[in-house]
Structure formats: structure tokens, C-alpha cells
Structure 1
């Protein structure tokens, strides 16, 4: 869960974040609005939800949705999502009476967050490490596919097989440990790193476009 408006912010206020699609040709995005102190949505209070639909068919990460939260002086919350490419917008309004937490409930959630601070931090690190690995696999796979003519066939097959195997492991082990995700990331880098460096050098010699050295 990402925080758009932090606790204690003076109202009226307005703040935005931009979110990206997570899959190729993703057709819709759920916009869920939570109130709470914990990093995972399951431990917070759902205020409202809606969907951005009819997203244009594009590769993962290339459709950008700007979500804006605006709170007026009376505590009225307006949530707007805008497709930055098409300018399509959707919004909902959440009143102070419509399911918002009372002050006592807010204070209890703060205490709950303090009690679970250490475990929440570890879980946030685990999820971040998993997401980094997932994103890394996507970009490595994309680069291998786009540059397959420049890579030794045997090296290419070995790299593609490892990427596919690691993706499969991720799907089977969504609750894996931080150390496991880090180990998988290192294994992919150990094989793919030399291939990418060789690819970069080959294309540079031939005057072609370079590749992302961070891969």
C-alpha cells in the first residue's frame, strides 16, 4: 500500500501519486482507498473502491494512472483517477459519515501499528524484494527477446530458461522469504550480467543502440 495523504496533514489538502499497469495489455485497474497505519491493505480500513476500465493495450508499466486525494475543510474526501494518456477520469466522494473511522478507532489503529512495527517493516522489505525480482525478470526477458539476434544461441536459451524457471518459482512461492528472493535475483544477475555486457559491447562496436547496463 502506498500513502498519498499522511496522518496529521492539515486540511484542506490535496495530494497525488502515479501508478502503472503491472501486466502487458492490462485492461483495467482497481482503485482501492484505505484508511489506516499498516503497510498492508488487509490490515487497514477500506473506505471505497472503483475501477479504471478500457485501458489502452500497452506493455506493462506504460499506462500511467494519476490518483488524486482531495480533502476539504469539512473532511469530505474526493478521489479522482486520471489516465494520463487518454485523459479519461473517474472519481468518487467519501463523506465523513460514510464508513470513516472514529477518533477512538483511529487511535486504536495507531497503537496496533506501533505493536506490529517490527513485523510490518520486515514484511514491507519482503514484498519490496519480491517486487524488485519480478520487475527485474520482466525487463531481462524483454531485453533478451528484443536482442536475440545479437546473443549466442546457447547463452540465450540458458538465460531464457532461467528467467522462465524463476518466474515459475515466484508464482508457486508468493510467500517466499526475503533471502530467497535476493538469492534468485543474484542467480539471474550472475548468468545474465555477462550476456548483457557482451551485448552492450557488440552493439556499441556496430553503432547500434545500447542496452540498459543495470540489467
Structure 2
């Protein structure tokens, strides 16, 4: 870690030996330069993280819009919905996709706000389509009887 490399070689037949020592004295960075580079890297990390969050929010919004359109275009699911609900979903999804195209450089909170608007339109429709909801949550369901003891079934 001291920036020095020692290399030696020996010809076994003639027993001649050569060696070279490589040091990194010329062009070495000062501690001040290293600290400045670290500072710039940290600043760029913040910029990169913000850009990544923006891209993630945009992708989530676009994915939701495309999933909504695909869901209502599927014959099985479309048969469970009235035509006006299908039209509402398609119209809302298209509006979001148009908005995204026109607002590529929007901020994270703007993408999230558009996602909430789209969800406000499509969630009630999809909830109706699938019934009362997505079904019981297996993690939330506990098999217990009314007296609080767990139901046990012996499988002998």
C-alpha cells in the first residue's frame, strides 16, 4: 500500500538476475486533492440518488398505467367490467402516459401525485371487478377459535 512494486526475475540456465523497483513518487496526489475528490464524489452521489428516485417514480407511474390498460384489454377481466368502466380506465391511463411524455423532467412528488390520481380512478373499478378485495392476507389470518386458543388439527 506504499505505492512500491518490486519485480525480479532470474534466468535459471545462466543464473542471471534482473530486478526493477517501481515507485509512485511523481504525480502522487496530495491529501488535499484526495479530500476534494471525495467531496465531489459525495456531492455527485446525492445528485445520482435524486435522479434515481425520479426515474423510479416515473417508471412506477408508467408501469401502473400500462398494467391498468393491459388488465382491461384482457378478455377475461374485461368481461367482468361494464364498458364505461373500461373506458374510464383506458382514458385515465392514456392521460397519465401523455402527461409523463410531456413532463419527462417532473419531480418525484409530481410523479407520485399523478400516480395517486390514477389509483383514485382505477382502484375502485378493479376492486369492483375482483369483488370485495384481493382476498384474505395469509400473514394477517390467524387460525384461532373464539376462545383465543389456536385450532389444532391432528393429522395422524
User: Which of 121, 141, 147 is the equivalent residue of 2:69?
Assistant: 141
Match of 1:118 in 2: 46
2:120 maps to 1:190: yes
TM-score with structure 1 setting the length: 0.42
Q: Structure 1 segments of 4 or more deviating over 6 A?
A: none
List runs of 5+ in structure 2 lacking aligned partners. 1-27, 135-156
Report the CA distance between 1:150 and its aligned residue. 1.4
Map 1:10-159; keep pairs closer than 5 Å.
111-146=39-74, 147-159=77-89
1:165 Cα deviation from its structure 2 partner: 1.0
Query: Larger Rg: 1 or 2?
Result: 2
- Structure 1 gap segments, 5+ residues each: 1-102, 205-209, 211-215
Tell me the secondary structure at the aligned position of residue 116 of structure 1. Answer: helix
- How many residue pairs get aligned? The number is 101
Q: How far is 1:169 from its partner?
A: 1.1
C-alpha deviation, 1:110, in angstroms: 5.3
Greater strand share, structure number: 1
Change (3 A) 1:110 1:157: same
- Does residue 1:160 correspond to 2:90, yes or no? yes
The alignment's C-alpha RMSD in Å is 2.7
Q: Which has more helix, going by share of residues?
A: 2
SS of the equivalent of 2:131 reads helix
| Distance in 1 between residues matched to 2:65 and 2:38, nearest whole Å | 37
Shift of 1:159: 1.4
CA distance in 1, matches of 2:107, 2:42: 23
Cα separation, 1, equivalents of 2:100 and 2:37: 32
